[in-house]
């Protein structure tokens, strides 16, 4: 997940680079054409709703974009019609679900046509209570509360403000990850509008190649997803919370982390991530714990609970409560945000070295920005979940039954003049951590935490990259979603930042 905002320690995200800007004339024409069809759904810069739509984004870099118009469809048919007009005009466009991307162009655009799917917010629980149809405009917080009232839960975000689609298609690290795997692997089906305007369904039986590609490859690379069907599970509560530890307890924290990793396979349910942040000039460690059953003080966490802490919120709670707490702890909404992701094989001595290097490297810049570092466990079950269940995803994680550690570096700040310094610090951290890891470095880069300079698709391996490009060529033969939609991580290459 993203790091902590203990008073001001913030989370991750990705910031600005010079966006590709559409020719205003092309996009003015596209906006006008769509406005004639759906005047209630088209928001122009002169509308009072325009600023509200901009402010719905999480990071300042996305809020500062000025599209030619926002289009907020209420049906799949409206999306179908709009994409045809946008394509015909040759207008650059972007697609926004929850708008929680860290990247300046993740789901926003300057001068282009902005698909804003906020009103595609349907939620329908199937009669058998085993699956859920949800629209791309839904965020996890309200959805969790609705499901909890029904005694159900889905594999969703650890932050109530995160949107359903981007989280899911990027993989999706959840508080239920140990027992249920990636969110992407719990997806059963989705409906997607192609560049041709055709609406197709993808699942294990219908368009299975597209179904696999989007799960990890990102929906934005293939079309505009207008509904998702995901698995539901019975639910009767959880246990969890956070603990904050001072730096003089870090040796105990390392021992506890090592013990937890070794106990986790026998437990098979617990979820943990460890965050490091600076608070009032000191470095603190934060452990976020979650257990998917209402079990008081699960034994798998005993090694952590024995460490002295300055804050302890562990209790029986709902998933929505834990996600709300995590969102508040890492809140940097409306600020400039940036993040970077890496993966390593689990080695407690290597993790200690990474933390020491991060403390040293961020010592100066942390006087001007809020910096965070966190470690998420990719369990053996998560690596091989899809393959074992006969539905491969696109992330290329299959491998030994050994855990990986996903590293997330994050910074949040307010002064745009610091953008260059932040980026250069990330580059030093990235290079240094890679050198420290040596042959324990893993190529995987988690899309939802990645920086625009990182080639996420290539990190899935050459075989998976080739597969994704073949699927894109089949369903988008004119490469509309690669050429006219500059946002997100594209199938063919990374983009170096200029600031």
Using CA atoms, how far apart are residues 130 and 147, in angstroms rounded to an integer?
Answer: 12
| pLDDT of res. 98 | 96
User: Stretch 66-82: mean pLDDT, rounded?
Assistant: 99
Cα distances (angstroms) measured from residue 167 to each of 99, 139, 215: 10, 10, 10
User: Stretch 224-234: mean pLDDT, rounded?
Assistant: 99
- Per-residue DSSP letter, 105: T
Q: What angle do CA 257, 171, 426 make, to 5 degrees?
A: 65
- 168-192 pLDDT tens trace: 999 999 999 999 999 999 999 999 9
Q: What angle do CA 328, 334, 336 make, to 5 degrees?
A: 110
pLDDT at 6 over 80: no
pLDDT at 11 over 90: no
| pLDDT of res. 242 | 98
| pLDDT of res. 102 | 84
Parallel, antiparallel or unpaired: strands 404-413 and 336-345 = antiparallel
- For 222, counting Cβ atoms within 10 Å of its Cβ (0-12 exposed, 13-18 middle, 19+ buried), the class is buried
| pLDDT of res. 103 | 86
Q: Coil, strand, or helix at residue 138?
A: coil
pLDDT at 10 over 60: no
Per DSSP (E only), the strands in 77-154 are 93-96, 113-116, 123-125, 131-134, 152-153
User: Stretch 405-409: mean pLDDT, rounded?
Assistant: 98
| pLDDT of res. 15 | 29
Q: Are 409 and 386 in contact (CB under 8 A)?
A: no
- pTM metric for this prediction: 0.93
The tokens for 58 are 């999480």
| pLDDT of res. 264 | 94
Mean pLDDT, all residues of the chain: 93
| pLDDT of res. 494 | 53
| pLDDT of res. 414 | 96
Using CA atoms, how far apart are residues 15 and 384, in angstroms rounded to an integer?
Answer: 32
Q: Are 41 and 82 in contact (CB under 8 A)?
A: no
Using CA atoms, how far apart are residues 358 and 341, in angstroms rounded to an integer?
Answer: 14
pLDDT at 105 over 90: no
Contacts of 188 (CB under 8 A, 6+ apart): 131, 203, 204, 229, 230, 231
Instruction: Place 153 in a pLDDT band, splitting at 50, 70 and 90.
Output: very high
- 346-397 pLDDT tens trace: 999 999 999 999 999 999 999 999 999 999 999 999 998 776 777 789 999 9
Using CA atoms, how far apart are residues 451 and 55, in angstroms rounded to an integer?
Answer: 22
Half-sphere exposure of 197 (CA within 13 A, CB side): 11
| pLDDT of res. 215 | 97
Domains, the chain, ranges and CATH? 24-118 (3.30.43.10), 123-234+459-479 (3.30.465.10), 238-458 (3.40.462.20)
| pLDDT of res. 331 | 84
Q: Are 244 and 284 in contact (CB under 8 A)?
A: yes
- 24-57 pLDDT tens trace: 789 999 999 999 999 999 999 999 999 999 999 9
């Amino acid at each position: 997940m993203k790091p902590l905002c203990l008073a001001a320690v913030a989370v991750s995200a990705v910031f600005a680079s010079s966006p590709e800007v559409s020719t205003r004339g092309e996009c003015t024409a596209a906006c006008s054409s769509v406005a004639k069809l759906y005047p209630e759904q088209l928001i122009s810069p002169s509308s009072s709703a325009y600023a509200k739509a901009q402010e719905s984004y999480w990071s300042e870099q996305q809020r500062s974009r000025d599209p030619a118009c926002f289009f907020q469809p209420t049906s799949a048919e409206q999306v179908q019609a709009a994409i045809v007009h946008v394509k015909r005009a040759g207008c650059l466009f972007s697609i926004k679900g929850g708008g929680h991307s860290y990247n300046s162009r993740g789901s926003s655009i300057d001068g282009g046509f902005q698909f804003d799917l906020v009103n595609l917010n349907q939620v329908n629980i199937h009669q058998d209570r085993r699956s859920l149809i949800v629209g791309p405009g839904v965020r996890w917080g309200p959805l969790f509360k609705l499901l909890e009232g029904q005694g159900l839960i889905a594999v969703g975000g650890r932050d109530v403000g995160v949107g359903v689609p981007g989280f899911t298609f990027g993989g999706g690290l959840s508080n239920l990850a140990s027992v249920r795997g990636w969110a992407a692997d719990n997806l059963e089906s989705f409906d997607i509008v192609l560049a041709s305007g055709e609406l197709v369904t993808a699942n294990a039986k219908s368009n299975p190649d597209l179904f696999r590609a989007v799960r990890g490859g990102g929906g934005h690379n293939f079309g505009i997803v207008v509904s998702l069907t995901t698995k539901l599970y019975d639910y009767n509560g959880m246990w969890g919370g956070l603990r904050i530890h001072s730096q003089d307890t870090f040796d105990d924290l390392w021992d506890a982390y090592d013990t937890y990793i070794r106990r986790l396979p026998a437990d098979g349910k617990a979820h943990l991530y460890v965050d490091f942040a600076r608070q009032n000039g000191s470095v603190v460690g934060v452990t976020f714990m979650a257990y998917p059953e209402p079990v008081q003080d699960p034994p798998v966490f005993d090694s952590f609970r024995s460490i002295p802490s300055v804050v302890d919120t562990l209790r029986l709670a709902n998933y929505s409560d834990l996600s709300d707490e995590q969102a508040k702890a890492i809140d940097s909404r409306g600020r400039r945000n940036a993040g970077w992701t890496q993966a390593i094989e689990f080695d407690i001595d290597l993790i200690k070295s990474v933390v020491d290097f991060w403390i040293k490297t961020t010592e100066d810049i942390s006087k001007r920005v809020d910096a965070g570092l966190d470690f998420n466990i990719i369990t053996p079950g998560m690596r091989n979940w899809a393959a074992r269940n006969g539905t491969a995803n696109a992330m290329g994680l299959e491998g030994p039954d050994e855990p990986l550690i996903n590293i997330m570096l994050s910074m949040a700040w307010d002064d745009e003049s610091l953008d260059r310094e932040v980026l250069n610090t990330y580059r030093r951290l990235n290079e240094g951590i890679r050198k420290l890891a040596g042959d324990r470095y893993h190529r995987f880069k988690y899309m939802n935490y990645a920086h625009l300079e990182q080639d996420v698709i290539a990190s899935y391996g050459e075989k998976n990259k080739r597969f994704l490009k073949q699927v894109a060529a089949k369903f988008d033969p004119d490469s509309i979603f690669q050429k006219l939609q500059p946002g997100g991580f594209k199938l063919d290459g990374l983009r170096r930042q200029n600031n």
